[in-house]
Amino acid sequence: MDIGTAKVGPDERARVPHHGLDLVDPDEPFSVADFKIHALEALRGIAHRERVAILAGGTGLYLRTVARGVPVEVGGHDPELRAVLEERLATHGLASLVAELRDRAPTVSATIDLANPRRVVRALERATILGDVLPPAPTGYPAPVVWLGTATDPVRHATAITDRAREQFVSGLLDEAAGLLERYPPDLRPFGAMGYREAFDVLAGRATLEQAIATDAQRTRAYAKRQMTWFRSEPDIHWLSPGPSRSDDALRLVRASLGV
């Protein structure tokens, strides 16, 4: 999945080392816990070489998990058990799950929002597997972190998103999607990503190329809006204004953080 994910190409990788690419195939599970393991391993290597890392891309949750030391659980997951609990929630309601959680894990139940169905289901899943054990506390990231956000003009941003969607289709996204369909079933979770679902629709005759580009751009704009909402809630972000001085401002903030 190269074109639809805007993965950096060989030339860029030759100029600047990149990490965390090509780790798994589309049909392999990959969680935020897996991401944290790989990211911290890369960051330790970069620190050992006395270099500064730029953590970019991915969702806000992934960035927060690494940069703020948010704990994630490697164990305590069972898809079959989760499905059973979700079915019970749908058929019997939240109260029965809350009652079982209180009985099975009183310590855990006292720490979560029992009115939140998702948290109750997750807590009961974890308690069934691991017992009445609280999740690990945040450990904190053992190095300075500077959060930089790039502010954009909304109109120019929307245009750039549409241009990006069109460029990906022009650059061979349909061929890439066709190759993926030869190897994998179309209902894999990663194929719900922007661009791939639309490419599959074109290949199946459910949409024209122009319709696919328009839908891809619309979904991407909606996703970008959700991302901005997320990052506005993050503390300590330095928002860099558009313009030629943005790179200089970023370097100044990083150097001040490092004391150089």
What is the separation of C-alpha 218 from the centre of its chain, rounded to a whole number of angstroms? Answer: 19
Which value, to the nearest 10 degrees, does the dihedral of the CA atoms of residues 113, 116, 122, 124 take? Answer: 70
Q: What is the mean pLDDT of residues 48-64?
A: 88
Q: First vs last Cα of the chain: how many Å apart?
A: 39
Q: How confident is the model at residue 224 (pLDDT cuts 50, 70, 90)?
A: very high
Rounded distance between C-alpha atoms, residue 46 and residue 18, angstroms:
11
Q: Which residues have a Cβ under 8 Å from the Cβ of 89 and sit 6 or more positions away?
A: 97, 117, 120, 121
Query: Would you call 238 helix, strand, or coil by DSSP?
Result: strand
pLDDT at residue 101, as a whole number: 95
pLDDT at residue 25, as a whole number: 95
Q: What is the mean pLDDT of residues 1-16?
A: 92
Q: How confident is the model at residue 74 (pLDDT cuts 50, 70, 90)?
A: low
The amino acid at 52:
V
Q: How confident is the model at residue 49 (pLDDT cuts 50, 70, 90)?
A: very high
Is the pLDDT confidence value at 211 over 60? yes
Q: What is the mean pLDDT of residues 16-25?
A: 93
Among 147, 152, 150, 138, smallest CA distance to 54 is for 147
- Verdict on whether the full-model pTM lies above 0.75: no
Structure tokens at 65: 């998990």
pLDDT at residue 140, as a whole number: 62
**150 strand-pairing partners:** 240
Rounded distance between C-alpha atoms, residue 13 and residue 162, angstroms:
26
User: Tell me, which fold does domain 146-258 have in CATH?
Assistant: Helix Hairpins (1.10.287)
Quote the percentage of the chain above a pLDDT of 90: 63
pLDDT at residue 139, as a whole number: 63
Q: How do the domains of the chain map onto residue ranges? A: 79-130, 146-258
Q: How confident is the model at residue 70 (pLDDT cuts 50, 70, 90)?
A: confident
Residue 2: burial class (beta carbons within 10 Å; 0-12, 13-18, 19+): middle
pLDDT at residue 96, as a whole number: 93
Is the pLDDT confidence value at 81 over 80? yes
DSSP annotation of 241 reads P
pLDDT at residue 212, as a whole number: 97
Quote the percentage of the chain above a pLDDT of 70: 96
Q: Which residues have a Cβ under 8 Å from the Cβ of 35 and sit 6 or more positions away?
A: 20, 58, 62, 65, 66
Rounded distance between C-alpha atoms, residue 169 and residue 173, angstroms:
5
Among 163, 207, 27, smallest CA distance to 199 is for 207
DSSP alpha helix (H) spans, 131-195:
154-170, 173-183
